[in-house]
Homo-oligomer: A and B are copies of this chain.
Amino acid sequence: MIIDRNSPIPKYFQLQTWLIEQIEMGVFKANDKIPTEQEFKNLTGLARATIRQAVQNLVSMGYLLRKRRLGTFVIDQRREKLQTNIGLMIPDIRMGNAPELARGVEDEAARTQHSLILCSTDDLYVKADFHANRLINSSISGVIFVPTAASDDKNYQIIEKFMRHNILVVLADRSLPQIDIDYVTTDNFEGAYRQTEYLIKKGHTRIGIVISTSFNTERLRLEGYKKALADYNISVNGSIIITDSVPYNEERYMHYVTDLLKQRDKMTAIFAGHDRIALLFYSAAKKMGISIPDDISIVGYDDLPLMTIKLTTTHQPFYEMGQESMRLMLRRIRGESGNPQQIVLKSYFVERSSVLPYRNNSY
């Protein structure tokens, strides 16, 4: 029976809850006619006014539509209730390829009449949490989230908070271990491997690296670099592998860059963790009177639009990453279920002129 007459819960509320359940479970589908007030009266034994009260509430909540003479009908939630806002939580819109990513998301969102709410986290948990709370209060249907530099646990907390509020989450660029969730990233391992192999084939065997290990994207690049060296039976002096678990910042990494350049007799090429680190090398090299690529070769990663520097690097398709994240989000919004998807986009190598072939002149 629908109504428990002994329950302290108001009867109109019981009926109302039951109706919502039926609708959400799909027993009453979109555009279905629900029982008439008279039928409900027979079904439940309640007075018509009580039934009306329950139905009226669902009408103002947007679940039902009354049509005189015809009856009361279920409104197509997807079409009518549309929340058309999507959150995008990224470290900083001013940083690196963030604008590309944002634009990819925006263009794909606009095609389906969705709007993009921009939130910069500065890679901090507190800011991410602040924005998460705000986004939850405004009505959004999903969030595309680039995990912050905080611990994995903190990032899980953010994600779970969204999920508790029925907000869809898609991770972009950086993924997190031990959580099964939709994400879109690029093939950092393969990209780094390809790039290192390129250096090796150009005759370089002593290849330094400066890279952060705070994100799994970077850790994968480091792995790719190491794997390529191992596959070619090249062992590397540990002193020219500089890693730091602290995320990139100009000042700190400038020290590493300078340190590495001071040891330049130990190597002929350098793998910079990303293009901004590569730029630090250009800057430091200039000061130290070292010429790139004549004295030392360098590769970056990201393919930032640098205009004047011809840096050999790997292009990451950030615009496409934004698009794919949004497409994945849209599929979930449309109700597509199924296992979490991991989309790994292909990066491609961009050969410019920051690498020269190495010929050992000592013979």
Interface residues of A (CB under 8 A from B): 49, 60, 84-85, 88, 92-94, 98-100, 102-103, 106-107, 110, 113, 115-120, 130-131, 134-135, 138, 279, 282-283, 286, 306-309
Contact = CB atoms under 8 A, between A and B. Distances in A.
Contacts of A309: 308
A89 to B, nearest CB: 11
A220 B309 CA distance: 32
A94 B85 contact: no
Contact of A84 (B60, B88, B138, B307): B138
Given A138-B115, A307-B283, A99 B94 contact: yes
How many chain copies? 2
Given A93-B93, A117-B117, A279-B307, 17 more contacts: A60-B60, A88-B118, A92-B103, A93-B102, A93-B106, A94-B103, A98-B99, A106-B120, A110-B130, A110-B131, A115-B117, A115-B135, A283-B307, A283-B308, A286-B308, A308-B308, A308-B309
Contacts of A119: 106, 110, 115
A325 to B, nearest CB: 15
A93 B103 contact: yes
A292 to B, nearest CB: 10
Contact of A118 (B94, B100, B106, B135): B106
A113 B135 CA distance: 10
Contacts of A286: 308
Contacts of A93: 93, 99, 102-103, 106
A307 to B, nearest CB: 5
A344 to B, nearest CB: 24
